[in-house]
Structure 1
Amino acid sequence: MIWRSTTILVVSKDGKTVMAGDGQVTYGSTVMKHGARKIRKIADGQVLAGFAGSVADAMALFDRFESKLREWGGNLAKAAVELAKDWRTDRVLRRLEALLLVADKNNVFIISGTGEVIQPDDNVAAIGSGAPYAIAAARALARNTNLDARTIVEKSMEIASEICIYTNKNITVEEI
């Protein structure tokens, strides 16, 4: 059986960065949990982080990422690159199955275990099974409305939950 779950979305606009994650965890064709928390504030509330994939793996990566942030004086870009390098080359870390989405007030990055560190052009990014739906909605709203970042994220996550069977409407939102 395959664990499926998660839509994590971040939008950074007009000095606000907002991240949201749904609460559904699915195992095969069964919903196992409705209220999982997949996003958090780290680095004394200065960075938002969300994950898609194994919870235990994501928690290990959150801890490692937060250590990298401290090591590099809060430099999000450098911490993301250093985590990706470790994740790709470390024998234990490279077995971890997750994606991380991290953001501060100025930057947004997707970090993978294959060494990818992707910074979107428009400060809108998403990971997880509902990512294509959430990011399409967020980009459309960001480009064609005057809505603030929080409203864009909330509306986009609602749209994703109506389309993706692995995404529910139990949304957690964090803002910096």
Structure 2
Amino acid sequence: MEKTKILIAYGTRYGATASTAEEISQVLQEEGFNLKVVDLKKEKIQDIADFELVIVGSGMKMDMWTRKAKAFLKKFSSELKKKKVAIFVSSGGRALMEHKGENDEIDRITKKYLEDKASKYGLSPISMTMFGGVWDYNKMNKIYRKILDAEKENFVQAGINETEPGVYDTRNWDEIREWAKSIAGKL
């Protein structure tokens, strides 16, 4: 029997969504699925016909998906409507909002980043989620660093520590693995 084929197509700015996609892929491979993982900035996808499930991921910055992930949804919207789809976004801000108890804001951005995006393209995903992300001061521009500097005190209070100089990783790897396993259970 042929293994179910899954495509993970993602857009990333600083690499958090890439490593999240790789972790999801690893879990799904361990569950017996055949995976293709594509960084949409590095590779153009011509066809998605061979895939039973398409997982689309995007990094978030200043309330925006990556350009390549948005373009992928637009290009393949009619094909995606006929497939199983899952969507995830990476958001460094999620951990700060949780720490501050900003549940209404989390609900708002979950609706905007996930539900509204799926609805815009007529998709009914089998699962959607928002993971933490990474703030990498070494890769971001000066203006964005200044904006985040105002929040640095909150990083420490929220338990967000530097994982290496200038890098703050807010992802929960167990949560990412559990989500991937839940996807496997829906196939």
Q: TM-score, normalised by structure 1?
A: 0.34
Q: TM-score, normalised by structure 2?
A: 0.33
More helix by share: 2
